[in-house]
Structure 1
């Protein structure tokens, strides 16, 4: 309640200051946009994001009709705030999509290359989210990412290039594998993760590096291939690289995600790749330890859905690891 009140006071004070300022309508619109961006940059609560959306809306209301480029830039920022605001339904994401599309209608003719590419990248995110809800086509998200890559290339914009490669890969993997092109999309996804990793480093771009390594590990785990063990070993290497950044103290949620992914990988690998028939009791034991560590973190940080999924994996793996005779005795 205190956060809501404090944010509301700030918004009212900002609106009063802008209204009383001796400035043109365009200058006031820019002032409101700057204030909204400040709230959005370091939000302390969801109310800050909601206030940013409100301020962007006010800025659009007073923006002069003869300044379409300024209005487009405000709409692009509004779209990012809507994307960041948690919501149960698709409405904010659809509003974000509409804001990006409206902004691009102007930016494409008058904007800077980088702001056009940023809007395309964010449009792709909105479309990808909506595609997951059955309200957009994943191919349209992929198209937006590919247009953004015309500007965000590996040499001039390595960070954005890596993020786009990650987004492209996850989009490829999100398309249902129901046709003969599914294997090609899986291969494209792995290739995109690897392309991103060519331009980011552990030292210079740790967050992006860890994200790509974690997601590459996931892709390698689930890709349709006759080289299942080889891919699994490569996935373990990728997870270990991600864990150089994702630590229990520095990034507990991301750390838990990655060790849960690693646990799943271990549980499906033989202890000795040269003798798969010997089974994997050591890997299963290591997987259970990682799952339980991840479960404790998810429970501590209030992630009930993830905690439930990991708890189910622990139960399933524990049941599989118990010899049949002991299972029968336990049931009795």
Structure 2
């Protein structure tokens, strides 16, 4: 028997998340698992185009499999957003599906304004339209309204399409975070989205949400040890999915954040050296998979943080650590120039000078520190200037003590 139009709008990533599924016999028996990301096996022949899109086949192949129905013409407009395809789909659709077409058309710049739903509009389409109005609000820089609309859309489909709801919540949370709205509400959004994905097939989605939750904890921490520990827990969980073999860039970025959480965590007499050692381990791992040219800023950040951590690592090879730190700073100085980033350059040579002074290489340390002091003075960074002045004064005292021996 035929039931209402099966809806997987917003569930799958990419093009497939926009596709309409034609009604088939007993579709309602497939829908609960389909809405968690599991395709029926075998896949009904009427849905072969959908399977083809999910598996990443060329759009030409997906197009070949589209049926000559209203759903097929809607989906053809998604694949090839051209005026003639829009007009053909428009001539075949009415009611909820016409609203959905107009919402998609707005997203593809075919309509000036997004449509408005009716009281009896299906919840999945209602949520899609609410999300469209959210993106319209973002274009108008009304961030608060946009976030509220996304959260409202997520609530609309929370019971019937949990993955669609989770994707909407994830967008709302990511937007909040990018705008610097870091609070407990942000944590709750990510947690709710994660809960909604628990039974789904989308392992990568859960890993991404877990990583983002970790960054939210890390940004909110501000010295709170519990939040840093929660961030570390999230990063370690995400690393079970983002492995060096299948996602080297994500793997490296997570290790970077893991290291920064360890370094920022308030120390005590028991954990100071352990957390420093853990940070060094993660930074070394990140640098194995960061390309200096492709990920220049990330590579610089990881290299500098590793050098800084090595300076203060408790080890039986303190001198080796310090020389490695000096060499790492030198590597970054080949990329980070005084002309383009005077502040970053000054911090680099100040750190390098400090490491050299710890090695007793005063003749090399003093010129570095003196140059850093001059740049900080020019930039009116009195705090950094004072730190360098204190180091220069300490070197002067050490040299005087040595001359008396």
TM-score, with structure 1 as normaliser: 0.72
- Tell whether the 8 Å contact from 2:307 to 2:324 is kept in structure 1 after alignment: yes
Offset at residue 194 of structure 1 (A): 0.6
The answer on 1:54 being equivalent to 2:136 is: no
- Tell whether the 8 Å contact from 1:259 to 1:291 is kept in structure 2 after alignment: no
For residues 218 and 254 of structure 1, the distance between their equivalents in structure 2, rounded to whole angstroms, comes to 14
Match among 161, 171, 177 for residue 77 of structure 1: 171
- In the other structure, the counterpart of 1:218 is 308
Q: Given the superposition, is the C-alpha separation of residues 71 and 262 from structure 1 closer, same or farther in structure 2, using an over 3 Å criterion? A: farther
Offset at residue 135 of structure 1 (A): 7.4
Match among 18, 28, 37 for residue 114 of structure 2: 18
- In the other structure, the counterpart of 1:99 is 189
Match among 292, 295, 304 for residue 374 of structure 2: 292
Pairwise mapping of residues 66-145 of structure 1 onto structure 2 (< 5 A)? 66-86=160-180, 92-110=182-200, 112-134=202-224, 136-145=226-235
Match among 391, 399, 404 for residue 317 of structure 1: 391
The CA deviation string for residues 91-115 of structure 1, in whole angstroms up to 9 with x for no partner, is x332221111111111233362222
Pairwise mapping of residues 257-272 of structure 1 onto structure 2 (< 5 A)? 257-271=347-361
Q: Structure 2: which 5+ runs fail to align?
A: 1-111, 401-405
For residues 219 and 232 of structure 2, the distance between their equivalents in structure 1, rounded to whole angstroms, comes to 12
- Tell whether the 8 Å contact from 1:162 to 1:196 is kept in structure 2 after alignment: yes
- Detail structure 1 runs of 4+ shifted over 6 Å in the superposition: 36-39
Match among 31, 38, 49 for residue 132 of structure 2: 31
Pairwise mapping of residues 192-231 of structure 1 onto structure 2 (< 5 A)? 192-231=282-321
The CA deviation string for residues 117-166 of structure 1, in whole angstroms up to 9 with x for no partner, is 12111111121233334273422211100111112111222221111111
The CA deviation string for residues 259-292 of structure 1, in whole angstroms up to 9 with x for no partner, is 4433433343321xxxxxxxx1441232221243
Q: Secondary structure of 2:174's partner? A: helix
For residues 212 and 80 of structure 1, the distance between their equivalents in structure 2, rounded to whole angstroms, comes to 24
- In the other structure, the counterpart of 1:42 is none
Q: Given the superposition, is the C-alpha separation of residues 285 and 258 from structure 1 closer, same or farther in structure 2, using an over 3 Å criterion? A: closer
- Total equivalences in the alignment: 280
Q: Given the superposition, is the C-alpha separation of residues 202 and 60 from structure 1 closer, same or farther in structure 2, using an over 3 Å criterion? A: same
TM-score, with structure 2 as normaliser: 0.60
For residues 316 and 211 of structure 1, the distance between their equivalents in structure 2, rounded to whole angstroms, comes to 25
